Structures are given as C-alpha cells and as structure tokens.
Amino acid sequence: MLDLISLGECMIEFYCDGSISKAAHFHKAYGGDTLNTVVAAARLGSRTGFISKFGEDPFAPYLHEEIAAEGVDLACCPAVQGFNGLYLIALGEKGQREFTYYRTGSAAATLGPEELDAGYIRSARILHASGISQAISRSCRSAVRRAFQIAREAGVRTSYDPNFRPKLWSSNEAREALEEILPSTDIFLPSSPDETRQLLNTADAREIDGWARERGAQIVVIKEGEGGCVVVEDGMPRRVQSPSDIRVVDTSGAGDAFNGGFLHGLLRGLATLEAAELGAITAALKIQGRGAVRSLPGREAVAAAAQDKSWATRAVEFGSR
C-alpha cells in the first residue's frame, strides 16, 4: 500500500540568476506542483506514487531516473509520444521571480479519465491533486474528477490545493472547477490572501473554512506564506507560525512543500495542528535553496529544525516507520 499518490504534471525546470533574457547559463532540474508534494512527503518517509504521462523526448530518461531515485513510484506514468512541459525561472537579487512556460499540448495534458488505474488509486491512503492538474486540459480535469470519485468510493482520503494560476485559466473557470471537486474533497489546502480573494472573494479564515466545509471538506488549512498557516477547528482559527530566522532564497514550490509535510504528518497520525506545524517547517527549509525539488528537506533536516520548537519531539517521531 502507498501512503500518498498525486495526479498532475511533471515539467523540466531551467533556472538562472538575473533575467531570463540576459542569462548565459541555465541549470536543469524538474518540478510540478503535485509532484513536488509527493517528493516532499517521500523525503520525510512516506511511500508515494505519481499519476501522469511522460513524453518520449530527450528529457524522459532524466525524469524517470531522478524521480524514481526519490522513491516515488512511477507505475502509472507511461512514456507516450509527445513532449514534456518546460519552464524557465529567473531569480532576481531581491528574490523576485520570473517565469516562462512551454507546456501547451504536453504529454501530461493528454491524460484522460479512461486511462486511470482504479486499483492503483485504491492502494493509497491519500490521493492529492490541484487546480493546475485540472487546468492543463479538459481531459485532465475529467481525470481529476474521476480519480477523486474512485478514491472516495474506496475510502481513500482526498486532498486538493486550488493553486490558482491566472495564466492557465480565469478565476471563474477555476472557481467552477473548485466547486466541482470539493464535494469529493476531504482535505482543502488553499492559499491566502491573493488566491482566496480571487476565488472566494474573502481572506477571512472563518469564512473560508465555513465555505469549504459546507461543500464537503473535513480538514481546512489556509496557507499564508511567510505568515505560516491558519487551522480552523470547531470554528476557532489557530495560527501556526513559520520558523523564524529563515534566509529566503527561492519561494517556488513552498506551498507544495507545505502540502507534502502536512499530508505526511496526517499519515503518521498527527493531529491537524501538529501536521500543520510539520508542513510549516518543511516549507521554511525548502525556501532556503534553489529549485522546486532539489531544495526540499529530508527527515533529518526537518527533525533538526524542529529542536528549537515546542513540537520538537513530535517532529522527530513522525518520521519513524
């Protein structure tokens, strides 16, 4: 049995310093929001898998080797004709980011509901997807909906992060997809204030929590970047602060890292608030390095970072298997 499976897109990442137009050298890596999440969880000790499609281009062997080396199961990531999406990311001196994407029509975007392996989904304890998983194509949106239905019918918990990207679709389309998937969602992981204001017209934690629970969510954690996150239980918001004294290098994928740490905590039996603390540590460590995946912390680093926190003992215990 796998602990956590995610569905989505993997892309080649080329990152540089300074502007993309003036950069003479780029460093190759890879990333993708839902993939980042399962790699983050895998580095903490969860057994993870990924559902996608890889294009048979020169990058395919690299992707398979690198992701498999992280311990992520790729049994449901067939190689097909086509190409893998690619993005360029530049980082300025003050941490500002510049993205350029080449993903339209990628192999991952051709995934459809009829290609899902229901048995594989049923083998997981949690299935995770995002708004990006839905936005890259109509067939992927249908695949996410069907995957969540299969999971729900089998008693597998579902996790969803809206991860709204205006370049992929409008706020109205994203809101429609959100309304579509929430009745099949157990764990809702939005970001605030920008995302929730665009999708829900509010940044109030109680309102966000109430809105999501009315539609079926059982656990709601609202990510607030450097402000940590807010967990609402029994109508009472409780804030989890991010660790202090963090040197921010690259915030790309920070929310994905949080998701991975948080879901790993739930899988290890932590209460929601404790799992959120774990997610906050994971995200804080991730943003101290470059790359969506390469800077994700391992179990030892997370445990060490937790030593100065009140939840230090729990942070050590969650990683044992």
- Residues 149-164 as b/e (b if ≥16 CB within 10 A, e otherwise) read bbbbeeebbbbbbbbb
- 3-state SS assignment for residue 105: coil
CA distance 319 to 268: 8
Here the tokens at position 82 are 């086509």
DSSP string, 50-82: EE--EESSTTHHHHHHHHHHTTEEEEE--EESS
Residue 229 neighbours by CB distance under 10 Å:
27
Amino acid at 314: R
Beta-bridge mates of residue 13:
29, 87
Q: Provide the strand spans (E) within 204-282.
A: 219-223, 229-233, 236-240
Q: Which of 17, 33, 256, 308 is catalytic?
A: 256
Q: Is 161 a catalytic residue?
A: no
CA atoms within 13 A of residue 3's CA, in its CB half-sphere: 25
The residues assigned a catalytic role are 256
